[in-house]
């Protein structure tokens, strides 16, 4: 049902590396989100976008940055990864109406050594 | 403080049995309440969305109820299957902004044994 894709699914990298997590959706949704989730914990919003050239920080402070140059694409970048960035990162999108369903990608499990 | 609390934290049941998961919230103002299923290592998948005026909604073997007066919701799973093993997350949306901020519970981890 969900046409939202994240790559890579798993990523293991060393400290100090620059990484970009990809997220694309083919549903034409204006609203896109990045969440961070640790095991057994709730999802925390770290970035969101209402449309092209619109990005905002979420509730949880994050050293990552995002961009929205195209409607379908919402990549997340970490300039210098640290072990504290180890987590699962979930991308989501939704339509514009208040009770719209939120569609999630399969997530990227990031491990920084 | 706006919060979403779920119980139990984890639950083990035998295949074919029914179970009920609970969600209590303090989010105000209230817009809608959602239940999601999240398989291990995957993103959540929407099961139901209920607004203030709805007190029950079904999706196959999943039935969600909402009592907006007591700010409680439950998710009932009938005739459980092994594939129901997952985390079930309750999410409440407020009407504080055009975005409709979402408040996530920590989930109930359900394990179905054969």
The pLDDT of residue A81 is above 60: yes
For A34-52, the pLDDT digits (tens) are 999 998 899 999 999 999 9
Instruction: Look at residues B42, B20, B30 and name the one whose alpha carbon lies nearest to residue B108.
Output: B20
SS3 state of residue A85: helix
CB contact under 8 A, A99 and B31: yes
| Cα distance between residue A78 and residue A15, in whole Å | 11
Return the DSSP state at A4. Answer: E
- What pLDDT is attached to residue B99? 57
Instruction: Look at residues B91, B2, B110, B100 and name the one whose alpha carbon lies nearest to residue A98.
Output: B100
CB contact under 8 A, B99 and A48: yes
The pLDDT of residue B96 is above 70: no
| Cα distance between residue B51 and residue B56, in whole Å | 10
Cβ A66 vs Cβ A74: under 8 Å? yes
| Cα distance between residue A73 and residue B26, in whole Å | 35
The pLDDT of residue A106 is above 60: yes
Strands (E), chain A: 4-7, 10-13, 19-25, 31-37, 44-51, 54-57, 65-66, 76-78, 87-94, 103-104, 108-112
For B4-24, the pLDDT digits (tens) are 999 999 999 999 999 999 999
Q: Is the dihedral angle over the CA atoms A35, A41, B10, B8 positive or is it negative?
A: negative
Cβ B20 vs Cβ B110: under 8 Å? no
SS3 state of residue B9: coil
**B111 in A contact zone (CB under 8 Å):** no
Which residue of B lies nearest to A1 if distances are taken between CA atoms? B45
**pLDDT > 70: what percent of chain B?**
96
Q: How many beta-carbon pairs below 8 A join chains A and B?
A: 55
A-chain residues near B89 (CB < 8 A): 42-43
**B100 in A contact zone (CB under 8 Å):** yes
How many other CB atoms sit within 10 Å of the CB of residue A81? Answer: 22
Q: Exposed, middle or buried, A99 (CB in 10 Å: 0-12/13-18/19+)? A: middle
- Interface probe with A: pick from B43, B49, B97, B104, most Cβ of A within 10 Å: B43
The pLDDT of residue B98 is above 80: no
Selecting from A44, A101, A107 the residue whose C-beta is nearest the C-beta of B46 gives A101
Query: To which residue do tokens 């949306």 refer?
Result: B93
Which residues on adjacent β-strands are paired with residue A55? none
């Amino acid at each position: 049902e969900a046409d939202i894709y994240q790559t890579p699914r798993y990523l293991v990298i060393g400290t100090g590396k620059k990484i970009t997590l990809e997220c694309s959706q083919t549903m034409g949704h204006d609203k896109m989100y990045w969440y961070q989730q640790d095991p057994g914990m709730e999802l925390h919003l770290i970035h969101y976008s209402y449309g092209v050239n619109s990005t905002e920080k979420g509730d949880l402070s994050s050293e990552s940055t995002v961009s929205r140059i195209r409607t379908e694409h919402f990549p997340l970048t970490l300039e210098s990864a640290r072990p504290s960035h180890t987590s699962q990162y979930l991308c989501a999108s939704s339509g514009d109406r208040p009770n719209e369903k939120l569609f999630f990608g399969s997530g990227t499990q990031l491990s920084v050594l | 403080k706006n919060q979403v609390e779920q119980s139990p934290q984890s639950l083990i049941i035998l295949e074919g049995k029914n179970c009920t998961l609970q969600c209590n919230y303090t989010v105000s103002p209230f817009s809608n309440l959602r239940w999601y299923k999240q398989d291990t290592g995957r993103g959540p998948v929407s099961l139901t969305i209920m607004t203030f005026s709805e007190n029950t909604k079904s999706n196959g073997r999943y039935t969600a109820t909402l009592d907006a007066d007591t700010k409680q919701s439950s998710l009932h799973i009938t005739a459980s299957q092994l594939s129901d093993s997952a985390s079930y997350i309750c999410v409440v949306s407020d009407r504080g902004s055009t975005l409709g901020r979402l408040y996530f519970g920590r989930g109930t981890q359900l394990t179905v044994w054969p």
